[in-house]
Amino acid sequence: MNLYRVIAKKTDMKTLFTIVLTGIVSLAIAQTKISGKVNDKHGEAIPGANIFLEDAYDGASSDEEGKFQFTTTETGIKILVVKFIGYKEFKQNIELNGKSLFIEVQLQEEINQLEAVTITAGSFTASDASRRTVFKAIDIATTAGATADIAGALNTLPGTQKNGESGRLFVRGGDGNETRTFIDGNVVLDAYSPSAPNTPSRGRFLPFMFKGTSFSTGGYSAEYGQALSSALVLDSKDEGGSSRTDFGILSIGGDVAHTQSWERGSVSGKVQYTNLQPYMNLISQEVDWKSAPVSIEASGALRQHVGKNGMFKVYGNFNNSNFSLYEHSISDYNQKFLYDLQNDYRYINGTYQNALNEKWSMRSGLSYTYLQNDAMVELTNIIETEQGIHAKTVFAGSITDKFEIKSGSEIIQRSYAQDFNLNDGTSHSLNFNELIAATFVEVDLYTSNKFVMRGGARMEYNDLIKQFSVDPRVSLAYKMGKKGQFSFAYGKFRQTAKNELVRVNNQLDPEKAEHFILNYQLINDKRTFRVETYYKKYSRLVKYVQGDANVLDNDGDGFAKGFELFWRDNGTIRNTDYWISYSYLDTKRNYLNYPYEAVPTFASAHNLSLVAKYFILPIKSQLGATYSITSGRPYNDPNSDQFNGGKTPTYADLSFNWSYLPKPSLIIYFSCTNILGRDNIFGYNYSLTPDSNGVYASRAVRQPAPRFLFLGIFITLSKDKSMTQLPNL
């Protein structure tokens, strides 16, 4: 029995040995050797790539030369996978039959939306999702000298020229009419409040209502039309924040605001009353006011999420204001006439946006603007009325990760009328109706994370003049390293002439401009550096025929060229944010009543702004200062033979503001413009006829007062006692 067991055991061991040996031989025979090399599209080796068989454990990594090698016992058809960060995943079917395989792999760069190059030529953009943040609402609110006015703050950026008697945005040789404002993509027909002659106006819209500001000084998207020099694009907030009530006690009035939020939406509203009469009684003014400006304004926003990805928003602004003053004769100050103005303004905007799927989205909007100026000039009543509707729909999406497209259509319909009611009982009217239908398409092509090209065109049909037009626009950007990039932009732009010109001749062609822009931008650790140069060519500008303002044509032209520098740093000095901007402008025009090409009166060659903000923690205060200096602007002296041969003195302004937060729900805010009281002169007005000696009398156009002082106390009531109004100032 024992012998039998020994023999059996030996037999089993022999069998087991045979089986194992056979398996080892079979395994060796079934092994497949896989080798190869991983390159990019330029043939450069990619070290550290992961190479493996899908649903298996066999694989390797590429070496410094991009080479790899491993063996596998898998058989049949398998999938070879190659992965490396920043590149698209590579997959290829291979047959494993024990024979050696050599595979050459070429990886394609993956476009990373967080790292990819972006178009920056001619554009300052800031929003919650922006990768190139430059300017946000709090920047506007806390910039000294801007008094929370969007245009006032943007006038500290390069590309703008100071026009203290206007307050509007004058961009790169363009006048204030050539900058157009858009809210959520829809046009605003008049973005500025009314003002007395030679006094600055303010923007109608409060910065805290918007999550982002895109200020394009040229080369902007084909989506935006009817803007000759610049597009200011404001995006209203998607969220209203927590429920709260805000009160403001102001040296020139008061306001109250409330936000009510619920799970998927919110509504916000603000009412503000402004009365400058008490202030004017205390501070001596250049303007001879009979009744200083008084206004009541209401603005509101409704936001509601719809479905899984939809958003519906309504924004509105309503304003009533009035003032009256005496205009004095230049040759005899004792001769004067009364000018009285009442202004009614309404703007409402509704938008709906939704993500159709993972790659496509749509946005649709409708806006309505109503504006009426009812003026009395002595016994003559002049009523100017403009109203318009803008409807737009835009689709945007990705065809591939390298090819994005945006396309849309819109209709802008507006009517204008100016009615004269004379003191003798007679009346007459000038009016026109304009309808513009437009469509645009724009594509972004990413060849890599370093290069992007945007090409597009805008097609318009103007029913007033029965004219069809196509305006191409192209932008390129190339990334230098991780932080810097070059951009180039070119585009053709057109805009209907000013209302006061079209009402005289409603068959005028649109005025045109071509933009050429080259820019370099570097963003690194809370620091931004930009340098930009440009050339702008004007054509079809409106011109008086033989100096007659009642006979107009489109024979005018002009140019603007220059370069700009911008530096912003909020990381070097603790609790300090500052920026420096400089612009050089060389421009001339031959338009309106100009006898030949000359520098326009609104253009200054050199503009420099220095803005600084410093938060002092021990005293819970934020201090701000802005210093602006501008070279003199030309003016026309009829006593001189040279047209626009005069030059105003250098403009300089040092402004200051102080926000004191004794507790988060209470802010005391003080600001002062032109602290040093410099007597800035913006030009000269001349009498229409000479005196007995043949001399035209003149009067300087000055600031309404040497300084503007503002004091406000802002109180917030909310469940969260830490909420503050600082971003809203």
- Band the pLDDT of 714: cuts 50, 70, 90: confident
- Band the pLDDT of 3: cuts 50, 70, 90: very low
pLDDT at 137: 67
- Indicate the Cα dihedral angle 422, 425, 426, 428, nearest 10°: 60
Tell me which of 317-321, 571-575, 578-582 is least confident. 571-575
Q: Which two tokens stand for residue 638?
A: 């009829």
Report which secondary-structure segment, H or E, holds 489: strand 484-495
Tell me which of 43-47, 129-133, 381-385, 515-519 is least confident. 129-133
How does pLDDT run across 349-384, given as a tens digit for each residue? 999 999 888 888 999 999 999 999 999 998 899 999
Neighbours of 14 (CB within 10 A): 10
Q: Which residue has the tokens 């500008």?
A: 541
Q: Which two tokens stand for residue 324?
A: 């009256």
Contact status, residue 299 vs residue 209, Cβ threshold 8 Å: yes
pLDDT at 285: 87
Q: Give the start-to-end residue ranges of the domains of the chain.
A: 31-106, 123-728
How does pLDDT run across 259-298, given as a tens digit for each residue? 899 988 999 999 999 999 999 888 888 899 999 999 999 9
Q: Which residue has the tokens 């500052």?
A: 578
| Cα dist from 154 to 106, 134, 519, 600, whole Å | 48, 11, 19, 21
Whether the pLDDT of residue 126 is over 50: the answer is no
Within this chain, domains 31-106 and 123-728 share the same CATH topology: no
Q: Which two tokens stand for residue 219?
A: 């080369």
pLDDT at 514: 97
pLDDT at 9: 45
CA proximity to 324, closest of 294, 282, 292, 278: 292
**What topology is assigned to 123-728 in CATH?**
Maltoporin; Chain A (2.40.170)
Cα(315)–Cα(78) distance, integer angstroms: 58
Tell me which of 129-138, 232-241, 674-683 is least confident. 129-138
Whether the pLDDT of residue 232 is over 70: the answer is yes
Whether the pLDDT of residue 464 is over 90: the answer is yes
pLDDT average, residue stretch 509-520: 95
Q: Which two tokens stand for residue 366?
A: 């409708």
- Band the pLDDT of 4: cuts 50, 70, 90: very low
pTM value is 0.82
The residue among 398 and 555 whose pLDDT is bigger is 555
Strand partners, 302: 267, 314
Cα(223)–Cα(210) distance, integer angstroms: 20
List Cβ neighbours of 288 (8 Å cut-off, separation of 6 or more). 325, 326, 327, 328, 336
Whether the pLDDT of residue 721 is over 70: the answer is no
Q: Which two tokens stand for residue 64?
A: 């410094």
Whether the pLDDT of residue 597 is over 90: the answer is yes
Mean pLDDT comparison of 283-297, 449-463, 582-596, 680-694, highest-scoring range: 582-596
pLDDT average, residue stretch 669-687: 93
CA atoms within 13 A on the CB side of 92: 16
Cα(118)–Cα(399) distance, integer angstroms: 18
Contact status, residue 188 vs residue 386, Cβ threshold 8 Å: no
Average pLDDT for the chain: 86
- Band the pLDDT of 227: cuts 50, 70, 90: very high
> What DSSP line would sit under 500-538, residue for residue?
HHHTT-TTPPPEEEEEEEEEEEEE-SSEEEEEEEEEEEE
Contact status, residue 555 vs residue 538, Cβ threshold 8 Å: no
Strand partners, 343: 321, 373
How does pLDDT run across 432-448, given as a tens digit for each residue? 999 999 999 999 888 87
pLDDT average, residue stretch 483-501: 93
pLDDT at 175: 92
Contact status, residue 46 vs residue 61, Cβ threshold 8 Å: no
CA proximity to 228, closest of 173, 164, 150, 154: 173
Q: Which two tokens stand for residue 729?
A: 């100032």
pLDDT average, residue stretch 552-561: 96
pLDDT average, residue stretch 518-547: 92
Q: Return the DSSP state at 592.
A: B
Q: Return the DSSP state at 56.
A: S
Please state the separation of Cα 332 from the chain's center in Å.
Answer: 46
SS3 category, 173: coil
SS3 category, 266: strand
> What CATH architecture is 31-106?
Sandwich (2.60)
pLDDT at 16: 46
CA proximity to 118, closest of 444, 598, 507, 555: 444
CA proximity to 417, closest of 463, 373, 369, 461: 373
- Band the pLDDT of 24: cuts 50, 70, 90: very low
pLDDT at 385: 96
pLDDT at 83: 83
The residue among 284 and 653 whose pLDDT is bigger is 653
pLDDT at 110: 66
List Cβ neighbours of 477 (8 Å cut-off, separation of 6 or more). 117, 118, 119, 120, 121, 451, 452, 485, 486, 487, 488
Cα(445)–Cα(402) distance, integer angstroms: 6
- Band the pLDDT of 344: cuts 50, 70, 90: very high
How does pLDDT run across 611-652, given as a tens digit for each residue? 999 989 888 888 999 999 999 999 999 999 999 999 999 999
Q: Which residue has the tokens 């070429």?
A: 106
Q: Which two tokens stand for residue 463?
A: 């029913």
The residue among 64 and 644 whose pLDDT is bigger is 644
Tell me which of 9-23, 65-79, 103-117 is least confident. 9-23
pLDDT at 141: 73
* Side chain identity, residue 371: L
Cα(295)–Cα(272) distance, integer angstroms: 8
Cα(11)–Cα(364) distance, integer angstroms: 85
Whether the pLDDT of residue 212 is over 90: the answer is no
Whether the pLDDT of residue 329 is over 60: the answer is yes
pLDDT at 118: 54
